[in-house]
Amino acid sequence: MAKILVTGGTGYIGSHTVVELQKEGFEVVIVDNLSNSNIEVLNGIEKITGIRPAFENIDCVDYVSMDRMFEKYNNIEAIIHFAASKAVGESVEKPLLYYRNNLVSLINLLQLMPIHKVRNFVFSSSCTVYGQPDILPVTEDAPIKPALSPYGNTKQIGEEIIRDTIYANSSLNSIILRYFNPVGAHASAEIGELPNGVPNNLMPFVTQTAIGMRKQLQVFGDDYNTPDGSCIRDYIHVVDLAKAHVVAVKRLLAGKPKKNVEIFNLGTGRGLSVLEIIETFERVNGVKVPHKIVGRREGDIEKVWAEPAHANNELGWKASETLEETLRSAWAWEQNLANRAKAE
Ligand code: NAD
Ligand code: WQD
């Protein structure tokens, strides 16, 4: 079975994708510098799949080490490139860190691909490229809006770098996946999201508040132009998201793409408000999430959800996990983390 390089493979989305790849028989090589993940994630992957993936602690910014890695694991047939820094607020404070990490990593990989005869590339992009869309649900041909942060800009520029590179070298193929809001964890609760410090994202803040690590969740604004006044997003189970990567890799390997660069939204097509998320989380898990309404968060988008029809029809992939199951998995993971912390 084909050998797949997964950069950022010990991270949140990467680890779930490695599990799905291994379940489908792919041989996985992870490259991760552990800047935002833990080596123990490999144990979780092994527990779930029975296979410990090859792992290299390498910074993708380091061209020479990446070159050696491609030499060592020859015949890599596709790359899924997750490795990136992703904290929006931090990117405003440290823009060059973000431009260097996210863009140099990408450029290195694209440069090394023809040298090592790797032709297939899957890229983690984001619905952040749409900003506040004029039309909802948002389709892949919606205009790209000026980025609201250096992080968001690295995704926009990253997409352009891929397009230009492939235009100049038509033997390469890429699938760009624009994720909406990934949440939840593997059903085994062996792997999940490991936020560093105080979470910026909603779901880890919800679970950490429910377990008592945080006193109160702040709901950023209830005066938006939405039914209950709080912001709306498209929350997608991380396992559904992971499975889409397997489909994308298979499509590339089978030589099925209709264009050298294809773009797909990965979302459910369902928009949910912050208050709906809190209420459903409390109901399905039988636990309280103390929260209060505070002012709006700067730079927040009012509402965005995906039109997933292109991915549904072309990839034959569809998000299938229910919201209830998704929120239960997030809670089971938080409880597992707490139990592990107690045992230490
Ligand atoms: P994550 O931080 O959990 O995973 C990223 C992994 O990449 C981490 O394990 C980190 O250690 C590693 N990494 C970072 N820089 C590296 C480098 N230079 N060399 C080697 N490894 C490096 O993040 P995630 O949520 O799993 O996100 C994965 C990808 O998806 C990222 O590109 C992110 O921008 C994108 N994305 C995430 C979301 C989201 O909400 N989580 C939404 C849209 C897009
Ligand atoms: C979701 C909703 C908040 C925390 C960010 C990035 C985006 C993408 C995903 C990668 C919003 C509200 C949150 C809290 C709250 N990442 N909220 N209290 O803003 O959709 O997107 O992560 O590409 O680029 O910008 O996700 O989880 O931060 O927020 O009320 O403590 O929850 O206002 O409406 P967001 P999020």
Question: Region 196-219: what's the mean pLDDT?
Answer: 97
Q: Is residue 191 in a domain?
A: no
Give the distance (Å) from ligand 1 centre to CA of residue 322. 25
Q: Specify the pLDDT at position 229.
A: 98
End-to-end Cα, the chain, rounded Å: 39
Ligand 1 pocket test, pick from 10, 31, 32 with the greatest ligand atom count within 8 Å of Cβ, gives 32
Query: Facing residues of 176 across strands?
Result: 123, 263
Q: Are residues 274 and 262 in the same domain?
A: no
Active site residue 167: no
Closest Cα to atom 17, ligand 2: which residue?
202
Q: Is residue 196 in a domain?
A: no
Closest approach atom of ligand 1 to CA 37 = 9
Q: Are residues 218 and 329 in the same domain?
A: yes
Find the residues whose C-beta lies inside 6 A of ligand 1. 7-8, 10-14, 31-37, 59-61, 82-86, 101, 105, 124, 126, 179, 181-182
Question: Region 156-161: what's the mean pLDDT?
Answer: 98
Q: Are residues 171 and 302 in the same domain?
A: no
Helix (H, G, I), strand (E, B) or coil at 176: strand
Distance of alpha carbon 176 from alpha carbon 259, whole angstroms = 12
Q: Is residue 53 in a domain?
A: yes
Residues whose CB is less than 8 angstroms from the CB of residue 339 and which lie 6 or more positions away in sequence, other chains included: none
Q: What is the DSSP letter of 86?
A: -
Q: Are residues 84 and 217 in the same domain?
A: no
Question: Region 312-338: what's the mean pLDDT?
Answer: 98
Token reading at 110: 């694209």
Q: Specify the pLDDT at position 170.
A: 84
Q: For residue 333, which of 184, 129, 210, 176 has the smallest C-alpha distance?
A: 184
Confidence of residue 88 (pLDDT cuts 50, 70, 90): very high
Q: Are residues 332 and 242 in the same domain?
A: no
Confidence of residue 64 (pLDDT cuts 50, 70, 90): very high
Distance of alpha carbon 271 from alpha carbon 331, whole angstroms = 21
Q: Is residue 189 in a domain?
A: no
Q: Are residues 11 and 38 in the same domain?
A: yes
Residue of 151, 179, 224, 235 marked catalytic: 151
- For 100-155, the DSSP string reads IIIIIHHHHHHHHHHHTT--EEEEEEEGGGG-S-SSSSBPTTSPPPPPSSHHHHHH
Task: Assess whether pLDDT exceeds 90 at residue 344.
Answer: no
Q: Is residue 19 in a domain?
A: yes
Q: Is the peptide bond before 182 cis (omega within 30 degrees of 0)?
A: no
Q: What is the pLDDT of residues 160-185, one digit of tens each?
A: 999 999 999 989 999 999 999 999 99
Q: Is residue 192 in a domain?
A: no
Q: Specify the pLDDT at position 244.
A: 99
Task: Assess whether pLDDT exceeds 90 at residue 207.
Answer: yes
Boundary (domain end) residue, out of 249, 266, 283:
266
Q: For residue 203, which of 332, 308, 76 has the smallest C-alpha distance?
A: 332
CATH number of the domain at 126, please: 3.40.50.720
How long is the chain? Answer: 344
Closest Cα to atom 23, ligand 2: which residue?
126
Domain that holds residue 286: 202-232+269-343
Q: Are residues 135 and 221 in the same domain?
A: no
Model pTM above 0.85: yes
Residue 146: Cβ within 10 Å count: 8
Residues whose CB is less than 8 angstroms from the CB of residue 128 and which lie 6 or more positions away in sequence, other chains included: 147, 148, 149, 151, 152, 155
Q: Are residues 72 and 108 in the same domain?
A: yes
Q: Are residues 109 and 240 in the same domain?
A: yes
Q: Specify the pLDDT at position 305.
A: 98
Q: Are residues 44 and 180 in the same domain?
A: yes
Boundary (domain end) residue, out of 247, 266, 285:
266
Q: Specify the pLDDT at position 80.
A: 99
Q: What is the pLDDT of residues 243-273, one digit of tens each?
A: 999 999 999 999 989 999 999 999 999 999 9
Q: Specify the pLDDT at position 18.
A: 99
| Percent of the chain whose pLDDT exceeds 90 | 97
Mean pLDDT of the chain: 97
Q: Are residues 250 and 147 in the same domain?
A: yes
Task: Assess whether pLDDT exceeds 90 at residue 299.
Answer: yes
Q: Are residues 168 and 309 in the same domain?
A: no
Q: Is residue 195 in a domain?
A: no
Question: Region 269-292: what's the mean pLDDT?
Answer: 98
- Report whether residue 201 contacts ligand 2, using a CB cutoff of 6 Å: yes
Q: Is residue 194 in a domain?
A: no
Q: Are 151 and 88 in contact (CB under 8 A)?
A: yes
CATH number of the domain at 218, please: 3.90.25.10
Closest Cα to atom 10, ligand 1: which residue?
36
Q: How many domains does the chain have?
A: 2
Boundary (domain end) residue, out of 218, 245, 266:
266
Give the distance (Å) from ligand 2 centre to CA of residue 304. 11
Task: Assess whether pLDDT exceeds 90 at residue 196.
Answer: no
Q: Specify the pLDDT at position 208.
A: 98
Ligand closest to 153 (CA) is 2
Closest Cα to atom 13, ligand 1: which residue?
83
